[in-house]
Amino acid sequence: MEVLKLETKRILVLGAGGFIGSHLVKRLKREGHWVRGVDLKYPEFAPTQADEFVIGDLRDPKVCDLVIDTSIDEIYQLAADMGGAGFVFTGDNDADIMHNSALINLNVAEQAVKKNVNKVFYSSSACMYPEYNQLDPENPKCSEDSAYPAAPDSEYGWEKLFSERLYLAFHRNYDLDVRIARYHNIFGPEGTWRGGREKAPAALCRKVAEAEDGGYIEVWGDGKQTRSFLYIDECLEGTRRLMDSDFTGPVNIGSEEMVTIDELAQMIIDISGKNLGIKHVPGPEGVRGRNSDNRLIEEKIGWKPTQPLRVGLEKTYRWIESELIGIEGKRCVIKTGNYI
């Protein structure tokens, strides 16, 4: 009987302490690869499964020189200074977002060529699409060929566009094999859910989990802005398939199930079983409408995500609820200790 042997690679995951990076490490380990993770911090919610984990600042060229060595077959570059609307759209973090993420990508592209890395995956974002195509919440346009003339609505989006072009230029001039995905709102358990960098699904799950039955939750804006959200497992499936394909991209990795933010909030309220109202308050919103367009990914790699939003939301809500209960539990212990 023929025994099929899977190819084991030496893979570097940059941003391995973050949400997508820590899940990706788990997936690559399940596939049998050797993995080195790099980040400013360890994953927050579960121990890393990487074979090696380097705490290092990728803005520093010396750190990139060290972690990208000639033994590395593939790199997944997910490290970025990023967050949800409360971090990206207020304007307060623009300089850091542009400077920090651009430095990381400049260093990584250079070292990947110097060390003859076979392939580099870069995680771009739907935030690079022009604002003028996303003014109508019912009909946003996010096909890959609609990226130009460029007009992202945030500096985060401009940096993503710059770095896409950087990796493509290295591809053309230095033969660096690259894969570029434009992620659309990835969510799931073990993602940031408080502290200011959390994104809409996690923030709304937290608000609903914290709310008293019969009360209300706050939603930024009028709630009519539209988005689609992709569950982490499907994001990783698309990422792995793109990496193993011969298509460079850029290509969307996102869901086509577009909902208004009010619909998203209501879905989470329904999952919680609570009776809650929605109160609209001013806050950073981003573009009026956004949805993934999956025609290109289906054509090029014969795959697109299909899982309904509600399935992933159920898992995410239960996880955030359990995190909150954990914190409440710890608070009780501290209180009891103080009283004694």
Q: Which of 10, 34, 40, 224 is in the footprint of ligand NAD by CB under 6 A?
A: 40
Q: Minimum CB separation from ligand NAD for residue 118, in Å? A: 21
Cα angle vertex 176, ends 171, 181, to 5°?
70
Burial call 37-63: b when 16+ CB within 10 Å, e when fewer: bbbeeebeeeebbbeebbebebbeeeb
SS3 of residue 281 by DSSP? strand
Q: Which residue is nearest to ligand NAD (CB)?
A: 18
Total number of residues that touch ligand NAD (CB under 6 A): 26
**Does residue 105 contact residue 166 with C-beta atoms inside 8 Å?**
yes
Q: Which residue in the set 33, 59, 206, 227 belongs to the binding site for ligand NAD (CB under 6 A)? A: 59
Q: Which residues are catalytic?
A: 156
Least distance to ligand NAD, CB of residue 33, Å: 19
Q: Is residue 20 a contact point for ligand NAD (CB under 6 A)?
A: yes
Instruction: Provide the minimum distance between the beta carbon of 339 and ligand NAD in the complex, in angstroms, as a whole number.
Output: 37
Choice from 105, 111, 125, 226 touching ligand NAD (CB under 6 A):
125
Q: Give the torsion through C-alpha atoms of 87, 92, 93, 98, to 10 deg.
A: 120
Choose the binding region for ligand NAD from 170-178, 182-190, 303-311, 326-334 (rule: CB under 6 A): 182-190
| Number of C-beta neighbours around residue 226 at 10 A | 22
Q: Can you tell me the distance from the alpha carbon of 207 to that of 191, in angstroms, rounded to the nearest whole number?
A: 15
How far is it, in rounded angstroms, from Cα 124 to Cα 102? Answer: 12
> How far apart are the C-alpha atoms of 197 and 177, rounded to whole Å?
32
Query: Rounded to the nearest whole angstrom, what is the least distance from the CB of residue 205 to ligand NAD in the complex?
Result: 14
Task: With contacts defined by CB under 6 A, name the span among 33-41, 109-117, 264-272, 297-305 that binds ligand NAD.
Answer: 33-41
Our CB check for ligand NAD shows the closer of 80 and 209 to be: 80
Give the footprint of ligand NAD on residues 64-123 (CB under 6 A).
78-82, 100, 104, 123
Query: Which CB sits closer to ligand NAD, 128 or 211?
Result: 128
Which positions ≥6 away from 95 have C-beta within 8 Å?
none
* Single residue of 11, 18, 25, 207 touching ligand NAD by CB under 6 A: 18
Q: Are 72 and 36 in contact (CB under 8 A)?
A: yes
- From candidates 12, 13, 15, 167, binder to ligand NAD by CB under 6 A: 15
Residue 37 near ligand NAD by CB under 6 A = no
- Considering only CA atoms, which of 180, 126, 181, 182 is closest in space to residue 154? 126
Nearer to ligand NAD, 98 or 280 (CB): 98
Cβ atoms of 155 and 98 closer than 8 Å: yes
Among 185, 225, 260, 294, binds ligand NAD (CB under 6 A): 185
With CB under 6 A as the contact rule, which of the stretches 16-24, 66-74, 105-113, 294-302 interacts with ligand NAD?
Answer: 16-24
Q: Compute the distance between CA of residue 133 and CA of residue 151 in angstroms, rounded to an integer.
A: 9
Q: Three-state secondary structure along 7-27?
A: CCCEEEEECCCCHHHHHHHHH
The answer to whether 53 and 36 are in contact (CB under 8 A) is: yes
Binding flag, residue 39, ligand NAD (CB under 6 A): yes
Q: Which of 21, 152, 189, 238 binds ligand NAD (CB under 6 A)?
A: 21
Stretch that binds ligand NAD, among 11-19, 243-251, 266-274, 301-309 (CB under 6 A): 11-19
Q: Which of 41, 149, 172, 334 binds ligand NAD (CB under 6 A)?
A: 41
CB 119, CB 74: distance < 8 Å: yes
Residues of this chain that interact with ligand NAD (CB under 6 A) are 15, 17-21, 39-41, 57-59, 78-82, 100, 104, 123, 125, 183, 185-186, 192, 199
